Structure 1
Amino acid sequence: MELWELLAREQIRHTVSAYAVAGDSGRVDELAAQFTDDGVLDVSGKEQARGRDQIVAMLARHAANGAPPPGDGDGVPFFIRHFVTNIAIQQISRTEARAVAYFAVFTPDGPDHWGRYRDVFVPDGDRWLLQHRTARVDSSVEGGWYRRTFALVG
């Protein structure tokens, strides 16, 4: 394996992690920065955002719609945590990489939804960024954040 490929693979893993950490921290601008300027985020075929501004708008709207009202529940602050695993970079060249991964999302109530990412990465300066991410939800918990958030979508 050549050095450029090792560097690309590590940068791709960094982008995957930075996406999850930024999203879980509510920093949707940082999450959107993991995409190219015209990058696409496709959520389970239900909704698609193209470009960083649309990605920020979509995620900010869902954060507001899906979170329970303040004071609801047992006093535990609402949070979302994405766990991403089995990142498999299946194809890679100097101009594009394709990868898959599994994810599981937890809230204070426990497991909420889980599924797969299908990603296309491209080099952008000294980084490899998402050009297209499809987040395919395999299943979700009745009454959970995901179902509240996407109940009215598509």
Structure 2
Amino acid sequence: MAYLNKPGTLERTIALSEIQAVLHRYAVLARDNAAWDQMALLLTKDGLYRLPNGTVVKPSEMSTVVQGQEAKYIRHHITSIDVHFTSDNEARSIALYLAVTDKSAPDHWGQWEDVFRRTEDGAWLIADRSIVVDGCDPKGWFGTTYGVPKVVKGTE
């Protein structure tokens, strides 16, 4: 089990590359005028998308997360990615991100905590995504849309 954690194997390199490609594709698509239908394809059909406020949506409902208040300009930047394989067909990852919007730079920051699953056709897709916001500019897009997180990580 989880032979994909063994360093130096071609299989591990391929799996890591495919998972990182999904993470980067999501970051490119999660922008103003987001391509929600394309973003949904990065999740499994039964995937879950979890927001910091406890809201959970299916991939087909992802467009509802902006609550009708999509930012005029938003870009997500991934700074670090850590992947651990829990089996030959599942992996957990943490990707640190920083978001820049028309209202603030940085606007909000945190991590995407994902469970990836290898599908029957061999593709690695997100089966479960939890968006963690470590902090935000209270006057930025996230702060005015969702509110400021009660606890900013590192200050508890």
Relative to the length of structure 1, the TM-score reads: 0.81
Contact 1:103 1:114 in 2 (8 A): yes
| Unpaired segments ≥5 residues, structure 2 | 1-7, 148-156
CA–CA distance in structure 2, aligned partners of residues 122 and 3 of structure 1: 19
CA–CA distance in structure 2, aligned partners of residues 20 and 149 of structure 1: 20
Picking from 33, 38, 41, the partner of 2:46 is 38
Structure 1 counterpart of 2:140: 144
1:46 Cα shift? 3.0
Q: 1:35 to 1:102 in 2, by over 3 A?
A: same
CA–CA distance in structure 2, aligned partners of residues 64 and 142 of structure 1: 19
CA–CA distance in structure 2, aligned partners of residues 45 and 150 of structure 1: 8
1:66 Cα shift? 4.3
CA RMSD after TM alignment: 1.7
| Unpaired segments ≥5 residues, structure 1 | 68-77
1:92 Cα shift? 4.4
1:115-130 paired onto structure 2 within 5 Å: 115-124=110-119, 125-130=121-126
User: Percent same amino acid at aligned positions?
Assistant: 28
Relative to the length of structure 2, the TM-score reads: 0.80
1:4-153 paired onto structure 2 within 5 Å: 4-24=11-31, 26-50=34-58, 52-56=59-63, 58-59=64-65, 62=66, 64-67=68-71, 78-108=72-102, 109-124=104-119, 125-151=121-147
| Higher relative contact order (Cα pairs below 8 Å, separated by 6+ residues) | 1
Contact 1:66 1:148 in 2 (8 A): no
Structure 1 counterpart of 2:3: none
Letter in 2 for 1:38: D
CA–CA distance in structure 1, aligned partners of residues 67 and 53 of structure 2: 19
**Partner-residue secondary structure (3-state), 1:126:** coil
Which protein has the bigger helix share?
1
1:4 Cα shift? 2.1
